Chain A
Amino acid sequence: MISFDYISAADVESALRAASTPSSKFIAGGTTLIDLMKLDVERPTTVVDVTTLARRDASLAAVSELPGGGLRLGALAHMSDVAWDPRVRDRYPLVSQSLLLAASGQLRNMATMGGNILQRTRCSYFRDTATPCNKRDPGSGCSAIGGFNRTHAILGTSEHCIATHPSDLAVALAALDTTVQVRGTAPRSIPFADFHLLPGAHPEVETTLRPGELITSIDLPAVSFAKRSLYLKVRDRASYAFALAAAAVAVDLQGGAIRGARVALGGVGTKPWRSHEAEAVLVGKRATEATFRAAANAALAGARPHKDNAFKVELAKRTLVRALTEVSA
C-alpha cells in the first residue's frame, strides 16, 4: 500500500473540497477500498474519511421516512442497520434479504450503503496487478476473455470487459427504481438505472458519478407490492460468497394474475441487471411455472456466455423461476 494523506472531513463542503484532486478517494466502511489498496489496485494519494460527517448530520447514517411512503437510506448507514431495520424488512423484504445474504456479519457492520453500490468487481484479473485488465489499466487488454471466466458476466459484456458487478444490494435497488442522491458542485438525483454504466469501450468508468461527487442517500420509492418481494441468491457455498446467479423479484398478484412485476438479476451482469423484458412477459399473465419460464427465457435472451460460464444461462433462468414461484406462493 502506498502512503497517502489522510483527511477527516468535518462537513460535506470540506469533504468535497478535499476530494477534488484526481487521485483522492472517499473512505467510509473501507471494506473494498482498503482491500484493493493492499493489492495496489487502488492507489489514492489522498483519502478523505467521510464517516465523521454523520456527527454533524445523523441522517446521513440513518434510515428515514420519505414523503409519499418511501424510505431514505443514508449513504453512511451500515448494511446491518438497514438489513435489520423493521421498516425495511416489512416494506422492502428484498432489500433486507439482499443485505443479509451479502458479505459477513462483521463486514455488514462496516460497509455502508454508498460504498456498497460503488464496490468494485471481484474479477481475479482486476485484482491481480500482474495481469492485463482494461478496467484497472485502460487499454492493457482483458485477461478474462479467453482466460478463466467461470464467475464472469453473461449480460452487458463488451469486447473490453466481462467483469461481474458484485453487489447484491444494487440488484434489489435496480428492481425498485430507486434514486441516488448526490452532492457535488450542485446536488442532483440520479435514477438508479442511470447510475451504473455498461463497460463498453471504457470499463474503467463504472458510474455516472462525477469526480468529487459524494453520495448522500439512496431513496426507495413507495412500491405498493414491494411487500411481496424476494431476493434469491445462488452461490458456490451456503453462505459468505458472491453470487453465481441471483434474482430480485416483486410481484403484484390479484387472484392469480400478475398485475405488476419487478425483476432484476445479479451475478450475471456487468451492472445490476434490471430485466424489463421479463417484466413485460409477466404482466397480465397467470402466475404459473410456464409464465415464469417464459419470463426467464426473455431475461436471458441476450446472454453471451464465454468458455467457462455457459452454465450461468440456465442457472440464472432457474434462479429467476424459483424466485418468482416462491414470491407468488
Chain B
Amino acid sequence: MQPPNIGDIAPDFVLSTGRWLSDVRGAPVILAFHEPGWDPARADEIEGYRHLIQAGEEPQRVLVSNDEPAAALYGAARESAVFVLDGRGRIAWRHVAGIDPVESAAEIAALGLQTNGDGVRTAWSRRGFVATAIGAAVALTLEPTFGRAQTAAAQLPSGGTTTGAAVGDAVPVTLNVNGQTITLNLEPRVTLLDALREYAGLTGSKKGCDHGQCGACTVHIDRRRTLSCLTFAVMQQDKKITTIEGLAASAGATGDSLHPMQQAFIEHDGFQCGYCTSGQIMSATAMVGEPWGPGDDDVREAMSGNICRCGAYPGIVAAVQEVRRNGGGQGR
C-alpha cells in the first residue's frame, strides 16, 4: 500500500491504549512506525525528530507503533516512518524510509520550520522534545528486549554479577522524570543535570557552577532535594526524579496552576534575574518537609546551599515562610 499523501486524512487504527487514532484529534500528533530493531532512543534519531515540528503548532503527542497491520495502512510495513498529523487528523508531513528523500532545506522551509543555522533548536520546543523522548520510551517498552541487549552483562574475571559497558560506550539509561519514563542513550559520565538539559530537553534545571556550590541545578530524587550536577544519570535509574517542570503537577496542580511555592516566590519578589529561581524553589519545597525550626534564621540556614547573585534573599525567605505558615504545599 502507498503511504497517504500530505493533506490526506490519516488512516484510522486502534492504538495500543485501545483508543482509535481519531480519538486523539484536537492537537497535533507525531506518529512513528519503526522497523524491527530500530532504536528511537538513539540520540541521532532524536536529532532527526527535531525537523518535524511546525512553527507555532507543536505536536502534543508522539505515538510510536510496531503494529504491522497499522504500518501497512501507512505504506510503512517493516520500514521506519514518521507522520506529523495536524489537529484535524490530516497528514501535515511525512517521511517514509525508502520513499521520501531526506528532508531538504526547501522542505523544512515549506513546513514553516525555523532554523538557526546550527541545527533547529529554535524549532524544537522543550515540550516537543520531551514528547519525543516519551515516545522513544514507549517504543522501547513495546520491544523490551531491544536496547537492553546493548547492556552487556560484563562478566568480571572471577565471575561477578554486575552489569556495565566498555569505556566510552553509551548505554540506555531509563529515568523516571516528572512521572514519565524516558530512555536516553548516555555515556556513564553524563551527569543527571546534563541528561535532563541536553538530552531530555528539560532546561528548567540550571547549570550555575556545575560543582555543587550554587544550588541552581537542584532537583528532587525520591522526594529529597539533591544536586543534579554531582550525580551521574546512570546512577539514578529506578528513582523518582522531579524537576521544576513537574513540580506543580506533583502537588496536584492542573493546567497552568502553579505550586504554592512558585506562587509565593512571585508574590514576594523572590527573584530578580531568575537564573537561580528553579533551584531555589526546588530546594524550598523540599526544605518545608525537613525538621527545621520555625524562624527566618532556620530558613536562611536550610536554604544556604542556594546562592542568589541578585540578592533576592529577603523575598525568598518571605516566600518560604508564607508557604510554611500555610501548611507547606506538598509535592516533590
Contacts and interface: CB of A to CB of B under 8 A. Distances in A.
A17 B160 CA distance: 8
18 contacts: A3-B188, A5-B165, A6-B234, A8-B235, A14-B160, A18-B160, A27-B232, A38-B211, A49-B235, A104-B304, A104-B306, A105-B283, A105-B303, A105-B305, A106-B215, A107-B305, A110-B226, A239-B301
In the complex, the 9 A-B pairs of residues with the closest C-beta atoms, listed nearest first: A104-B305, A6-B188, A14-B160, A239-B304, A3-B168, A240-B304, A7-B164, A109-B224, A10-B161
A59 interface: no
Interface in A5-37: 5-11, 13-14, 17-18, 27, 29-31, 34-35, 37
Nearest to A28: B235
A103 B306 CA distance: 11
A45 B188 CA distance: 11
A4 B215 contact: no
A149 interface: no
Given A34-B191, A105-B305, A109-B225, A10 B287 contact: no
A1 B168 CA distance: 11
B154 A7 contact: yes
Interface in A57-103: 80, 84, 103
Interface residues of A, number: 39
B305 A106 contact: yes
Contacts of B227: 31, 106-107, 110
Contacts of B287: 105
B164 A105 contact: no
A316 to B, nearest CB: 23
A47 interface: yes
Contacts of B167: 3-5, 45
A51 interface: yes
A11 B161 contact: yes
A106 to B, nearest CB: 5
B210 A38 contact: yes
Nearest to B211: A35
Interface of A: 1-11, 13-14, 17-18, 27, 29-31, 34-35, 37-38, 45, 47, 49, 51, 80, 84, 103-107, 109-110, 238-240
B282 to A, nearest CB: 9
Contacts of A6: 164-165, 171, 188, 232, 234
B218 A106 contact: yes
Interface of B: 154, 156-158, 160-168, 171, 187-189, 191, 210-212, 215, 218, 224-227, 229-232, 234-235, 283, 286-287, 290-291, 300-306
B136 to A, nearest CB: 21
Contacts of A37: 189
A76 to B, nearest CB: 13
A9 B156 CA distance: 11
B226 A109 contact: yes
A239 B298 CA distance: 11
Contacts of A239: 300-301, 304
B305 A14 contact: no
A241 B226 CA distance: 18
Contacts of B188: 3-6, 47
Contacts of A11: 161
Contact of B212 (A49, A84, A107): A107
A204 to B, nearest CB: 22
Given A5-B164, A27-B235, A17 B156 contact: yes
Contacts of B225: 105-106, 109
